[in-house]
Chain A
Amino acid sequence: MSALEFTLVVWVVSALAGFLGALTGLGGGVVVVPVLTLLLGVNIKYAIGASLVSVIATSSGAAAAFVREGFSNIRIGMFLEIATTLGAIFGAYLTGRISTHAIAIIFGLVLVQAAYQSLFGKTGDGKRIASDALGERLRLAGNYPVGDKRKEYGVRNVPAGFGMMFGAGALSGLLGIGSGAVKVIAMDRAMKIPFKVSTTTSNFMIGVTAAASAGMYIEHGYINPRVAMPVMLGVLGGAMLGSKALVNARVRTLKIVFGIVILAMAVEMIVNGVLGKV
């Protein structure tokens, strides 16, 4: 392939990944890495390096919109970022130590989880819960808009959530993804934070988490400018379009189709990893 062909193909594919990632809430990284490695034969280390920077772009670029909606909770985000950044450093350290085959297999397993979430994931809020002692001490409680009123919520199980956030950070550093899905599970399921607050706070945290592994990615040479350039520009553009199109899209149908595609990529990623082809 010539440089021009490669750049254009990667740009188009990344824009599509960013668009679908924003529509389904899974993020662009989880799509762009398998597409680059499986379809275009890009080495997985270049792919995760390019994905990492595009994840930062999407997170920082969307921050203003999320704040306007009034859902994200900066205290929860900031406190849990202690865990995700430390996790990310650990994950990025592992990336330099383990084989690319192992990275591909772990990536495949994360894709299986993403496919499951896309196919069967829930979107809804439970009932209001008061903070427990630690949640109270850390002043994590907040409120979010429902209609024209604001609904109060509490935060519980902080240590469990903190631990899961370390894991989310490690996956982010290891695979160059935002690992928003794991962050949402930690907040929504473990800490009992309302779903909408969890997803928007997670989106906010993704960029900070990814920045923590960026230093090691640069040092190891994973961020190749010629690969990262079309990926970053594509994912960013696609994600911006996707968040605008979100309004009345047939998200349910889309999520089912997307879930099946991701599952297929997961299988191919794992098989290629086991056979040592990726």
Chain B
Amino acid sequence: MNDQRLETIIGQLLRAGVTLAAAVVFAGGVLYLVRGHAQKVDYHVFVASGKYMRTYPGIIRSAAQLSSDGLIQIGLLLLIATPVARVAMAVAGFALERDRLYTVVSLVVLVILVASLMRAR
């Protein structure tokens, strides 16, 4: 296992993740437009949405009820997970290469990412 091969595998997995995320977002978008395409919209004023769109349990619950907002948010969460997965795979890859310094470096990045994503739990 060398850096180049490791990166190629990671790159392909990332693209698969993005494709899946985009498909879920698209499905949610279609559902949203089918249900309410004529509805008037205005996003000039910022209104923080309810907890159901701002926390992971809320998003999962509304997606499970097939709400279009919930589905789109789940797709976006999948998307946000792709770089996190990339760092996690780099940790594993460097560990396999027995590169202690870069295993620790990528682990630090992973901890920072996970800690900041925990805010929306």
Contact = CB atoms under 8 A, between A and B. Distances in A.
Interface of A: 1-4, 6-7, 41-43, 45-46, 53, 56-57, 59-61, 63-68, 70, 72, 74-75, 78-79, 81-82, 85-86, 88-89, 92, 100, 138-139, 207-208, 210-216, 218-221, 223-230, 232-233, 236
Contacts of A230: 29
A42 B68 CA distance: 21
A211 B15 contact: no
B44 A41 contact: yes
Contacts of B4: 67, 70
B43 A41 contact: yes
A57 B37 contact: no
20 contacts: A3-B32, A42-B43, A43-B43, A60-B14, A68-B11, A81-B109, A92-B116, A139-B102, A207-B82, A212-B116, A218-B120, A220-B54, A224-B53, A225-B32, A225-B53, A229-B25, A233-B22, A233-B25, A233-B29, A236-B18
A228 B49 contact: no
Interface of B: 3-4, 6-8, 10-12, 14-15, 17-18, 21-22, 25-26, 28-29, 32-33, 36-49, 53-55, 68-70, 72-73, 76, 79-80, 82-84, 86-87, 90, 101-102, 105-106, 108-109, 112-113, 116-120
Given A1-B40, A219-B120, A211 B80 contact: yes
